[in-house]
Amino acid sequence: MTAAGGRLARQIAGLRFNDAGLVCAVAQQYDTKEVLMVAWMDAEAVRRTMETAKATYFSRSRNEYWVKGETSGHHQRVVELRHDCDGDALLVMVDQTGAACHTGTRTCFDDGLLG
Q: At residue 101, does pLDDT exceed 90?
A: yes
Over residues 55-84, the pLDDT tens digits come to: 999 999 999 999 999 999 999 999 999 999
Map residue 49 onto helix, strand or coil: helix
Q: At residue 99, does pLDDT exceed 90?
A: yes
> Domain coordinates of the chain in residue numbers?
3-96
- pTM value surpassing 0.85: yes
Using the Cα atoms of residue 35, residue 112, residue 62 and residue 96 in order, give the sign of their dihedral: negative
Question: What CATH code would you report for 3-96?
Answer: 3.10.20.810
| Residue 111 Cα to chain centre, angstroms | 21
Rounded Cα–Cα distance for residues 67 and 88 (Å): 21
User: What's the pLDDT score for residue 33?
Assistant: 97
Q: At residue 85, does pLDDT exceed 70?
A: yes
User: What's the pLDDT score for residue 14?
Assistant: 87
User: What's the pLDDT score for residue 9?
Assistant: 85
- Cβ 43 vs Cβ 12: under 8 Å: yes
Strand partners, 92: 27, 81
